[in-house]
Amino acid sequence: MTTPPTPATAASIPPTPAPIVVSLRPEDPEVCSSAAASLTPQHPANFSPSKKALNTALAAYVLFLTAIMATSVGVMTPAGSRWFGVSGTAFQLTLTAYMVPMALFSLVFAPLSEAFGRAGVYRVAMVVNTLAFVPQIWTHSYAALMVTRVIQGTALAAGNTLVGGTIADLYAPRERGLAMNIMALANYAGNSLGGAAFGFVAAKLGVQWCYGIQALACVVSVVANYALMSETRAEAVAARKAKRFTKATGVQHVPEGQVVHSAKATVAATVLRPLRFLCTEPIVTAMSLWIGFAWSCIYLGSSATLTVFAQYGWSPGVTGLSLLSTLVGGLLGFVSNFHQERIYRRAVAAGSATPEVRLYWAASGGLLFPVCMYAYAWTGRPSVHWIVPVLFLSGAMWGVYIMYCGVVNYFADAYETYSSSAQAAHSFVRGFMAGTLPLAAGAMYNRLGYPHASTLVASISTGLAAAPLALIFIGPKLRARSKTAVAIGSACGQVWDQAAVVSRQ
């Protein structure tokens, strides 16, 4: 029988020291010398403007490459089917093999980056993606192509979901409009140039050169990310700082405001967050379905648009130039978003800058898209000069652009520190639709006829356009009922107000 310790014995047992809280705040003399500052220069919100711009550019470049590798499939189909010895339909499946894993793993990478940091996810993802090009360039194996496309789609889920979160890390709501605009334009440029450029490359040099050029572009990203990218997730910076202090002192340090769990528990909790947002947050559900269908029309366009303009008797390379309409729409959207940003700044000055203010232009885009698609449906025929359907297609892509910007800005404002999880939810829907709808493009346009097929797309878009209009009016009530949005909005509002003090010093 164990003898209970006497008072003297108990007194001799040293108590377990309480963990020391580590923060990015001025109470820690090792990292901050200004007692007036609420956040230190180590906090990503207080990076210099040039450092913020650099990290935004690096992340946007990853997104640009992600888009190119998707939309180039359509114009590469004739050369690709010959190189790998398969039908055109079988080669088109490489888009599905790329997009569906991207959609699924968007639900994983975004919340993991919120728990463990973003820079490491970008770096590893781009290395894996780049290595996967090797069998695509050097073999004729269709099986190897499909496997590596799955690998690339899995890896580049990072580019599809993390960029909006990175910008939300770096910029306060009143500052992030331009950065989000640049992100969207990078995405659009990739979607457009992937089709416009690689049609000629595939026709003149072969599909292996298409993959080789894409691989070289990805090598640039790998080197730049390892050499220049900084960690932008403040919680990850604080956690690493706590780990360093624990190792140096032998006393446990914990990040301020964070509950330390095991890695297994952290992964389980974070991976489920996007699905929880998608299933339990009406705002996320409605906006994800709306932008998911509209965005899939870009990928539908990379297949169907080529079919429509092939009626004019153009070569595959020249037909691919019709996808420059996506870039034209993106540039129009980029310019018009400056007016949206002016509206938001006025609301900030008036003290009424709710996330719903971000949706004013997006709501108009929801109407512009179907109107232009209706017109495109009935002008895309040889009897009408090609510039007419190109102009209407550019208008439709303009509508999708401002819809997309409105959604990512809205999620960034409404869900702040967990914006990547909200972005992951709509990225999942976007990726899944973009990976599956183009498979039906050829059959749908051939069976229904070009005008009727495009009319069907426009009609569905018209119905979905009600989502942003409804949110403008009832969004505040929906957010007020969301415990997540209320808690995040309260906490992050204080952080950005403190960051503004530092930036003025």
pLDDT at 209: 95
Partnered with residue 253 across adjacent β-strands are 20
The segments of the chain whose pLDDT lies below 70 read 1-42, 251-271, 298-304, 416-417, 420, 438, 440-442, 483-505
pLDDT digits (tens, 9 = 90+) for 96-152: 899 889 888 888 887 777 777 889 999 999 999 999 999 999 999 999 999 999 999
CA 231 to chain centre: 17
Q: Please, which residues bridge with residue 20 across strands?
A: 253
Q: What is the pLDDT of residues 298-342, one digit of tens each?
A: 666 556 677 778 788 887 778 878 888 889 999 999 999 999 999
Residue 270 is predicted with a pLDDT of 62
For the chain, give percent helix, strand, coil, nearest 5. Answer: 80, 0, 15
Q: Give the DSSP H or E segment for 31.
A: none
**C-alpha dist (Å) from residue 457 to 365, 406, 492:** 15, 21, 39
d(CA 168, CA 171): 6
* Cβ 71 vs Cβ 190: under 8 Å: yes
User: CA dist 56 to 193, 354, 446, Å?
Assistant: 20, 24, 42
The kind and range of the H/E element at 308 are: helix 282-309
User: How many whole angstroms separate alpha carbon 294 and alpha carbon 288?
Assistant: 10
The pTM of the full predicted model, rounded to 2 decimals, is 0.78
Which residue is listed with tokens 């004739």? Answer: 78
| Side-chain-facing half-sphere of 337: CA atoms under 13 Å | 30
Domains and CATH numbers, the chain: 38-237+266-498 (1.20.1250.20)
CA distances from 219 to 62, 182, 374 (A): 11, 22, 41
Tally Cβ neighbours within 10 Å of residue 175. 18
